[in-house]
Chain A
Amino acid sequence: MTRNARRRLVSRVMTAATVVAALLALLPLFMIFADLVAKGASSINWHFFVQDPPPPSETGGGVRNAIVGTLIIVGLGSGIGLPIGILAGVYLAEYGAYTRLGDVIRFLADVMNGAPSIIIGIFAWTWLVRPMNGFSALAGAVALAILMIPMVTRTTEEMVRLVPNSLREAALALGYPRWRTALSVVVRTAWPGIVTGGLVGVARIAGETAPLLFTALGSLNFSTSLTGPMETLSLQIYSYAISPFEAWHRLAWGAALVLMALVLIFGMLARLVTRTRFRDA
């Protein structure tokens, strides 16, 4: 084999190796989705959404309590986390671009983004569960909000930064004060992007379990009380998956399919919002 033929061969083999790497990376994705549908779809019927879990020895029943709990806790968490994150992001983009404080906040937000979520769980326990003498959905929502703030801060900042300076200058030149420029010109222009970032954040906390273990705790019963323990889909998947009961395993797969669908719906909404925006522009 000539030297050049060998070089060409190496190039081909390595190209093929990267193709194999891509296929191997996608394999677990397809396996997980196939298993979710195969094992989860069979437990999903009308009862699954309107009934609460049965005792472990019985079959049937549903996960109404977990679905409602997820909506409440994620809704409340987003209600707390989104405004804080978005306003912090607007600050970073509008005032914190070249300031020391801006740099510090940005760096700490990035660092916090990679922090283990279970740490936020034990922190929320010390501030909200222990003083209030009990596990509560409220503490779970706050834990999820803390998790979401740095993420939303950074995506909002990037979206606001994409707004061209000429727009700001035009508004200022027309006599708008800075705050009105920021709110009714800059934020309004960046809004679809901000919404996208927010929806991605909601999707992310919807699947979180670790921060809820010591805050919302989970519950076998249907509950809408913010001051008591509450079940979520993620907590239910965890406790049912590690339980020894066959019937609960089936419910866990069904709950996992519902949770995955929920996360994907939020993810797709996020993409849709930006797409329509770009079509307009």
Chain B
Amino acid sequence: MADARDTTARRLATPSWGDVVFRAVLTLFAVIGPFLLLAIIGQLAIESWPSIQKYGIGFIFNSTWDPVHDIYGAAPMIFGTLLSSFIALVIAVPLAVGVAIFLTEFAPKWTRGPVATLVELLAAIPSVVYGLWGIFVLIPLMRSYLVPPLKALFGWTPFFSGPFYGSSMLAAGIILAIMILPYISSVAREVVHAVPASQREAALALGATRWEAVWTTILPYARSGIVGAVVLGLGRALGETMAVTMVIGNRHDIGISLIQPGYSMAAIIANEFNEAVGMQRAALFEIGLVLFGVTILVNAAARVLVWRVARGRAIGSSAL
């Protein structure tokens, strides 16, 4: 009797054949993604090795990009990527946080769903459509209405000096701002939403106005999550390719003027990869490697920040 129970228990405790196979198959499919990630990093490193060996760390600081004499430095592209992303953040962050606060705190209940959906619709517009719109609508609008007053007010500073040809850092920054806004606002909204109602109620009960409750209680509570949302937007902006390539102007120079053309890391890959051979191709791969490394770090940082606010909750998962 004892024996029989023993074997039954053992039989039930050992997984069936089907389970073993099922689990093995699922595991196999699950590791394809991580395998590809490692393969991408490895392949980029191999392909860029000639360039890494030849230029070393100077690759990042050298500002000459000269395929004729085979001299390559990525500084103008790195600078352009950072500057255009910075412009995008300056424009998008206040708007996105404003939208998030509006949607969680101030908006009438019936408007919240539709407005949130519409803002997130911005994320559904393909990058290349943003680029098309940037070339044929945004840049003409900037030429007529935005750049003249900017030049009149700030033309004496180096940031707005020189003629405006259309394609420019500022155009790229504005397009990027529109593109990353839905990502920042949707994560920020969920982070703000995750602030316990008791915090808000406590502030209001102490006599705070609705804005004071937001400013003194909700925002400090959600701070690291909002920073995470912003960093996530930064990651998007750094790697964005098509829209930036179409409006940034593609000039291999470091210029501080926002209304002049520039270049970005993703844009130079998009423009030159198909024609590049030899060392130029290796240099483009190295730019890709640097870009990939930076966006991975930025994304990992963003995730850690967002998780700290709402551990275990799938915050912003729909947007990520």
Instruction: Give A residues with C-beta under 8 Å from B.
Output: 7-8, 10-12, 14-15, 17-22, 24-26, 28-29, 31-32, 35-36, 39, 83-84, 87-88, 90-92, 94-96, 101, 104-105, 107-120, 122-123, 125-127, 146, 149-150, 153-155, 158, 177-180, 182-183, 200, 203, 206-210, 213-214, 217, 234, 237-238, 241-242, 249, 252-253, 256, 259-260, 263-264, 267
Contacts and interface: CB of A to CB of B under 8 A. Distances in A.
B24 to A, nearest CB: 10
9 A-B pairs closest in CB distance? A207-B126, A21-B98, A116-B239, A179-B22, A11-B209, A18-B102, A11-B211, A87-B29, A91-B26
Interface of B: 15-16, 18-19, 21-23, 25-27, 29-34, 36-37, 39-40, 43-44, 47, 94-99, 101-103, 105-107, 115, 118-119, 121-122, 124-133, 135-137, 178, 181, 185, 209-212, 214-215, 232, 235-236, 238-242, 246, 266, 269-270, 273-274, 284-285, 288, 291-292, 295-296, 298-300, 302-303, 314, 317-318, 320
Contacts of B232: 114
A43 to B, nearest CB: 13
B78 to A, nearest CB: 14
A111 B296 contact: yes
B269 A146 contact: no
Nearest to A130: B47
Chain A facing B: main interface SS: helix
Given A18-B99, A208-B127, 17 more contacts: A8-B209, A21-B97, A22-B115, A25-B122, A32-B133, A35-B136, A91-B27, A104-B34, A105-B31, A111-B299, A111-B300, A114-B299, A115-B299, A116-B292, A150-B33, A155-B317, A213-B274
B32 A118 contact: no
Contact of B15 (A108, A146, A178): A178
B238 A22 contact: no
Nearest to B135: A241
Nearest to A200: B318
Contact of A110 (B130, B133, B212, B320): B320
B183 to A, nearest CB: 9
B103 A22 contact: yes
Contacts of A35: 133, 136-137
A149 B33 CA distance: 7
Contacts of B296: 111, 114-115
A31 B119 CA distance: 13
5 contacts: A22-B107, A115-B292, A123-B39, A155-B318, A238-B131
Nearest to A149: B33
Given A21-B95, A114-B236, A117-B241, A234 B126 contact: yes
B132 A252 contact: yes
A36 B266 CA distance: 26
User: Which residue, B118, B128, B235, B266, has most C-beta atoms of chain A within 10 A?
Assistant: B128
B18 A122 contact: no
A117 B239 contact: yes
B37 A108 contact: yes
B31 A210 contact: no
User: Which residue, A25, A35, A92, A264, has most C-beta atoms of chain B within 10 A?
Assistant: A25
Contact of B239 (A108, A114, A122): A114
Contacts of B105: 18
B291 A88 contact: no
A22 B27 contact: no
